[in-house]
Amino acid sequence: MKIRSLCKDREGLLWVVCDKGAVYSANVRFGIISTPLGNIQAVQIDHRNRLWVGTEDGLFLNENGVFRQLLPGKHNVITLWESPADGSIWAGTFGEGVFVVDASGKVLRRLTERSGLSTAASCLSTATEKRSGSPHLAA
């Protein structure tokens, strides 16, 4: 079993994504959350303690135990980041840029090479916040 992604939520709980599509949550002991999703590549727990999941088929939000697909079409989401400034979720894809999604799941904008994203950052691997409050994207 390979670990693909790790995430810590506001309560300090660890979330782990494995190559078999399983999402594990750990407090004292690991527990498994069954998902209908395949090839999970990234997870993010937002400020409302909701689970966001990135897969090769797109971005999904789990609310009340139900996974809802948020991006139209098939997008290979490889990393997720929540902006502390406004709570938006930044979904980095493999070669398709970055989708910025609000807390309700609505796509606010898509950053691509055409909109000024560097060629390297179109395969976003990580994002952090600068002291100025603006995001820093890394390929």
Is pLDDT at 119 greater than 70 in this prediction? no
Q: What percent of the chain has pLDDT over 70?
A: 75
Calpha distance 9→96 (Å, rounded) = 27
Say what the pTM is.
0.70
Q: Which CATH code is given to the segment(s) 39-138?
A: 2.110.10.10
Query: Model confidence over 30-75: pLDDT tens digits?
Result: 567 778 888 888 889 898 889 999 999 999 999 888 999 998 788 8
Find tokens 């994002």 and name the residue. Answer: 127
Calpha distance 121→129 (Å, rounded) = 15
pLDDT band at residue 123 under the 50/70/90 scheme: very low
Residues sharing a CB contact under 8 Å with residue 61, sequence separation 6 or more, in sequence order = 50, 51, 52, 53, 67, 68, 70, 105
pLDDT for residue 59: 95
Q: Which of 13, 2, 17, 15 is nearest to 78 (CA)?
A: 17
Domain boundaries, the chain: 39-138
